[in-house]
Amino acid sequence: MSEVEAPGDGPLSEGIVSELPVIDAIKREIHQTHDWPLDIGTVLRLTGILGAPLVATVLAAYLIRLFEV
Protein backbone atom coordinates (compact mmCIF):
# COMPACT_ATOMS: atom_id res chain seq x y z
CA MET A 1 0.00 0.00 0.00
CA SER A 2 2.85 2.39 0.66
CA GLU A 3 3.78 2.28 -3.02
CA VAL A 4 0.26 3.28 -4.02
CA GLU A 5 0.10 6.08 -1.47
CA ALA A 6 3.56 7.41 -2.27
CA PRO A 7 3.49 10.93 -3.65
CA GLY A 8 4.37 11.51 -7.24
CA ASP A 9 2.87 11.84 -10.66
CA GLY A 10 4.63 8.87 -12.23
CA PRO A 11 2.72 5.91 -13.60
CA LEU A 12 2.09 2.93 -11.33
CA SER A 13 3.95 -0.28 -11.99
CA GLU A 14 2.12 -3.25 -13.50
CA GLY A 15 2.35 -5.20 -10.26
CA ILE A 16 0.62 -2.45 -8.32
CA VAL A 17 -2.07 -2.04 -10.95
CA SER A 18 -2.84 -5.78 -10.81
CA GLU A 19 -3.00 -5.68 -6.99
CA LEU A 20 -5.47 -2.78 -6.82
CA PRO A 21 -8.62 -4.88 -7.52
CA VAL A 22 -7.53 -7.39 -4.88
CA ILE A 23 -6.93 -4.62 -2.35
CA ASP A 24 -10.32 -3.10 -3.20
CA ALA A 25 -12.08 -6.47 -2.76
CA ILE A 26 -10.42 -7.04 0.62
CA LYS A 27 -11.34 -3.54 1.73
CA ARG A 28 -15.00 -4.08 0.76
CA GLU A 29 -15.07 -7.44 2.54
CA ILE A 30 -13.68 -5.89 5.71
CA HIS A 31 -16.36 -3.21 5.65
CA GLN A 32 -19.09 -5.82 5.18
CA THR A 33 -17.86 -8.07 7.98
CA HIS A 34 -19.66 -7.48 11.24
CA ASP A 35 -18.02 -7.79 14.62
CA TRP A 36 -21.02 -9.66 15.96
CA PRO A 37 -23.40 -11.63 13.73
CA LEU A 38 -26.44 -10.53 15.71
CA ASP A 39 -27.26 -6.89 16.21
CA ILE A 40 -29.19 -5.60 19.23
CA GLY A 41 -32.50 -5.60 17.34
CA THR A 42 -32.18 -9.28 16.49
CA VAL A 43 -31.25 -10.17 20.07
CA LEU A 44 -34.26 -8.24 21.40
CA ARG A 45 -36.62 -9.95 18.95
CA LEU A 46 -35.28 -13.40 19.84
CA THR A 47 -35.58 -12.58 23.54
CA GLY A 48 -39.18 -11.50 23.02
CA ILE A 49 -40.11 -14.53 20.97
CA LEU A 50 -38.47 -16.99 23.35
CA GLY A 51 -39.32 -15.14 26.54
CA ALA A 52 -43.00 -14.38 25.91
CA PRO A 53 -44.22 -17.99 26.30
CA LEU A 54 -42.23 -18.35 29.52
CA VAL A 55 -43.65 -15.14 30.99
CA ALA A 56 -47.18 -16.09 29.91
CA THR A 57 -46.86 -19.53 31.53
CA VAL A 58 -45.57 -18.13 34.81
CA LEU A 59 -48.23 -15.40 34.83
CA ALA A 60 -50.98 -17.95 34.10
CA ALA A 61 -49.77 -20.21 36.93
CA TYR A 62 -49.71 -17.23 39.29
CA LEU A 63 -53.23 -16.15 38.31
CA ILE A 64 -54.56 -19.69 38.67
CA ARG A 65 -53.14 -19.92 42.19
CA LEU A 66 -54.32 -16.41 43.03
CA PHE A 67 -57.93 -17.03 42.00
CA GLU A 68 -57.90 -20.76 42.84
CA VAL A 69 -59.61 -21.73 39.61
Q: Please report, for the chain, how many H helices and E strands are present, in that order.
A: 3, 0
Query: pLDDT tens, position by position, for the chain (69 residues)?
Result: 555 565 566 677 788 888 889 999 998 888 777 666 778 888 999 999 999 999 999 999 999 999 986
What pLDDT does residue 28 have? 86
What pLDDT does residue 35 have? 64
Q: What residue ranges do the domains of the chain occupy?
A: 1-33, 36-69
With left for phi above 0 and alpha for psi between -120 and 50, is residue 5 left, alpha or beta? alpha
Q: What is the Cα 12 distance to its own chain's centre? A: 36
What pLDDT does residue 6 have? 59
What pLDDT does residue 56 have? 96
* Three-class DSSP category at 51: helix
What pLDDT does residue 38 have? 77
